[in-house]
Structure 1
């Protein structure tokens, strides 16, 4: 493997770790203690807050904001202009009018599991888990957990069905039972865990 390729306009803190064969493009900022795995692609104008974790073979499109407390596992796709939040009760100031500092709030973590996809302009509200190979439709506002293979859309995002690991929509809608569904595109059988 080759060392990471970092565009000269990108700002990468010396305490960040960027894996081999990862490419970081124009105007991206990667802060201290960020870890990004190998063979990932980080688009133009992205922001990675301190301590963020990103796996290997991840593709993050341009202008994505990933704030402190977010963990993105291997093989995840994040579309352009998506935003991950990290504070459930954001305020610029304390009740006494003083500017809030790091000690004045609590990070609420978010986890995006292996192979998931997040569409363009989606907002991921903190404190949730997006399941393996789940898909978040473009423009969605995700406020609760997304099951493995779940397809969510809307504001707030709601479960609309399920997707195959290949990305194609599986037949049928949401279910409360465990079911095996066959992908019409690739023929793979995916076991869906029922959701209440």
Structure 2
């Protein structure tokens, strides 16, 4: 590891390979494994039985719940929430007898996104800032910022605020009162306090 153990917590049952960087205030719980060249930001929580890497970047203030694997090619920006047992793929057409490590597709999860429990993110897609993927959804395409996605395959069923409130037709967040604006390209952006 590239930093001192007194700046973060790693449970004794977890494995941290050489070349891993862990940010200050991060907690790594039971039976997890961080492979080589993984960079974990500050104030993250890595749950039980999590595998990350190799060559993965996880931003600051991320929460990765139990039983999640994050493979090479996946990037989590700051403030991403990965629910329990959510799934990331790394190739689109896997076969046990065919080596496809050179076909890993890049998957970017933008700042503040939430991925619900038992959902699947098919590789090669980008999840926009503050989007919300419902539990059990299967994401097969790019997701817009603030989009609320549900179903198999996932379809947009609404909008979510930065604070995690489901927006009604008035586009005012029920949590913090921020009004959002829907532009002519059907993209949502943060407006002003109401």
TM-score scaled by length of structure 2: 0.88
Deviations 1:78-119 (A, max 9, x none): 10001111111212223xxxxx274xx311010000011010
CA contact (8 A) 1:136 1:153 kept: yes
Instruction: Report the Cα distance in structure 2 between the residues aligned to 1:82 and 1:192, rounded to whole angstroms.
Output: 29
Partner of 2:28: 24
> 2:30 & 2:182 partners in 1: Cα distance?
40
Paired with 1:72 and 1:20, the residues of 2 have a C-alpha distance of 17
Which structure 1 residue ranges, 4+ long, deviate > 3 Å from structure 2? 192-196
Task: Choose from 90, 95, 111 the match for 2:108.
Answer: 111
Counterpart contact for 2:59–2:78, Cα < 8 Å: yes
Q: SS of the residue aligned with 1:145?
A: coil
Q: Residue 39 of structure 1 corresponds to which residue in structure 2?
A: 43
Provide the C-alpha distance between the structure 2 equivalents of 1:160 and 1:188, rounded to a whole number of angstroms.
20
- Cα distance in 1 for residues equivalent to 2:105 and 2:182: 28
The within-5 A match list for 1:36-185 is: 36-94=40-98, 100=99, 102=101, 105-172=102-169, 181-185=171-175
Calculate the aligned-residue CA RMSD, in Å. Answer: 1.6
Tell me how far apart the structure 1 counterparts of residues 36 and 136 of structure 2 sit (CA, whole Å).
29
Unaligned runs of 5+ in 1: 95-99, 173-179
TM-score, normalising length from structure 1? 0.87
Matches of 1:7 and 1:111, distance apart in 2: 28
Distance 1:22 1:182, change over 3 A: same
Distance 2:160 2:7 in 1: 35
DSSP 3-state at the match of 1:181: coil
- The 8 Å contact of residues 149 and 192 in structure 1, kept in 2 or not, is answered as no
